[in-house]
Amino acid sequence: MINIDILLERARVLLEQGRNKDAILQLQQALHQDPQNDFALSLMGRCLYNQKKYDEGMGFINQAISIRADEDYYFYLLAFGHYYKDQNLVAQRMLNKAIALNPYAADYFGLSALICIEEVELKDALKKANEGLEIDPENITCLNARATALNKLKQTDAAIETMRAALEQNPENEFTHTTVGWNFLEKGKHKEAAHHFREALRIHPNLESAQSGLKQALKSRIPPYRWLLQYSFWISNKGKNLQWILPLALFVLVRVVIAVLGEDSQLSIAVVSVMAAYLLFVVSSWVINPIANFTLLFNKDGKYALTNSERWSAISAVSALVIGLLMMLIGYIFSSPATVSFTDFIPGLILFSLALPLSNMQFPVSFKTKKGSGFVALILVILGLFSVLMLFIDKEGASFFLVIYFILFIGYNWTGLFRN
C-alpha cells in the first residue's frame, strides 16, 4: 500500500499541472485509506472545480470543513464555488469567515473585491482591494480588482497607474492583461483592448474571458457596435437589474401617462416617442450583433473567434437583410410610380424582418432546442418564408398567414425585451 502522504503529494503536483483526472485517481486511493483526510477532500474539491463540477466540488469542501472547521482556506475554497455559481451573497459570507480565521491572506480580500465589482458595489470593492494590497502590495488579484473598480468609478488615472503597476509586477500574467483589456474596452479603446487580449491569449490560449474580450474588441471596430457595447457597460454599471427593469418601467410609465392625460396630450406623445425610440434601439441592437459578427468573418483572427452557431446566425441574418432590401428595391424600380403601393414591398419587408429571429437562433437548426424562444424563432422563420411564397401564388390566402406572422413577430420581440 502506498503511503498516503505520497499519494497526496502526487495529487497536489498533478493538480498543479492541470491533470485533474490523474489527480482524482490518486485522491480516491488516499480517501480509500483515510476517508476523513480533510486535505485530500479539499484537493478533490479543487480538482472538481477545475472540471467545472462546482456542486460536487463544494460537497467535498464542505466535508473537509466538517472535519476541520478552523481552516480558513477551506472557507475561501467554498466561497470560490459559490462565486462561480453566482451565489455572491453566500460567497461573501464564506469569505468573511475565512478572513475572520486568518486576516492576513490578500487573496481573500481580492476575491471579495471581485464579487463586490460583480454586484456593482464599487466603493466596497475598492476598499477590499486596498485592504488586500496593504497585506501584500504585489497581489495580482487585488491589483486587478482595484484597477477595475477605479475604472468603473471613472478614476481613470488611478486605474491606469494600478494597471501599470500590475503589469510591471508580472508582464506575463494573463489575468492582468485580460483585466487591462476589459478596462480599455470599457473606455472605448478597442485597439488597445485587442492588444492586451491577444497578449493574454498568447500566454494562456484557453482563457475564456480573454477570448470573449478579443471578440468584443474586434467587433467594436464597427461604430454602431461600439456604441452598443458602451451602452451595455453603462447599464450593467447601473446595477444588476436595470436591464430588466427599464423596459418594464417605461411600459408602465406609458400606460400611466396615457391613462391620466389621455392619448393626445403632449407629454403622452413625448413618452410614447421615448418608448418607441427605446424599442427601436433595443430591436436594432439585436441585429447589430450578427452584423458585427458578419464583419468578423473577414478578419484574420475574428474568423476563428466565432462559434459555428454564431457564424451561421450572422450569415443567415445578413442574407435576410440584404435580400429583403434588394427585393424592396426591385419592387420599387419595376412598378410604375403611379401604381406603386405598400403591398409591393411586403415580401421584401418580411424577409428583412426575418433577420431578427435568425440572429437569435441556434445553428445547426433543430426542433429539439431547449430554449423556448429558439423554437418560436424557428417557427417564425418558416412561417415568414411560407407567407412570402404564398404572396406569389395566392395573394388572398397569403393574408391569413401574414397576420399570424405579424402577431407572432410582435409577441416574439416584445418578450425579447425581457429575455436576456
Partner 1 sequence: MQNESIKSLHEALQYSPDNVPLRLHLAELMLQEKMYPEAAGQFTETLNRSYGNTRAQLGLASCYYHQKKYSAAVIVYEQLRDHLPQDAMVLYIRCLIKENSLQQAAELYQKILVQSPGFKDEEIDQYLRLPSSSATHQDIDEEEEMLSQKYFMEKPRLKFEDVGGMKRVKDEISLKIIDPLKNPALYKAYGKKIGGGILLYGPPGCGKTFIAKATAGEIDAKFINIGLHDILDMWVGNSEKNLHEIFELARKNAPCVLFFDEVDAIGASRSDLRQSAMRHVINQFLAELDGVQTNNEGVLILAATNAPWSVDAAFRRPGRFDRIIFVEPPDAAAREEILQSLLKEKPTESIDTKKVAEQLNDFSGADIKALIDLAIEDKLREAMSLGTIQPITTKDLLKAGRTQKPTTLEWFASARNYALYANESGLYDEILRYLKIKK
All three cell numbers of 346: 411586403
In the set 5, 172, 263, 394, which binds partner 1 (CB under 8 A)? 5
Minimum CB distance to partner 1 smaller for 25 or for 282: 25
Residues 6+ apart with CB under 8 A from 68: 38, 74
Minimum CB distance to partner 1 smaller for 6 or for 245: 6
**Stretch of 3-11, 41-49, 103-111, 346-354 contacting partner 1, by CB under 8 A:** 3-11
For residue 18, the minimal CB distance to partner 1 (Å) is 7
Helices and strands (DSSP H and E) totals, the chain: 22, 0
Phi-psi region of 262 (alpha: psi -120 to 50; beta: other; left: phi over 0): left
In the set 10, 82, 219, 311, which binds partner 1 (CB under 8 A)? 10
Position 206 contacts partner 1 (CB under 8 A)? yes
* Residue in this structure with the C-alpha cell 423596459, named with its chain if needed: 247
Position 297 contacts partner 1 (CB under 8 A)? no
For residue 79, the minimal CB distance to partner 1 (Å) is 21
**Stretch of 197-205, 245-253, 336-344, 409-417 contacting partner 1, by CB under 8 A:** 197-205
Contact 381, 353 (CB under 8 A): no
Q: What is the DSSP string of 305-357?
A: HS-HHHHHHHHHHHHHHHHHHHHHHHHHHHS-TTT--GGGGHHHHHHHHTHHH
From residue 231, give the alpha-carbon distance in Å to each of 117, 129, 236, 245, 403: 18, 27, 9, 15, 34
Contact 116, 125 (CB under 8 A): yes
Position 52 contacts partner 1 (CB under 8 A)? no
In the set 209, 211, 295, 362, which binds partner 1 (CB under 8 A)? 211
In the set 103, 137, 205, 262, which binds partner 1 (CB under 8 A)? 205
**Stretch of 45-53, 56-64, 203-211, 263-271 contacting partner 1, by CB under 8 A:** 203-211
**Interface residues with partner 1 (CB under 8 A)?**
3, 5-6, 9-10, 13-14, 16-19, 22, 198, 201-203, 205-206, 211, 300-301, 304
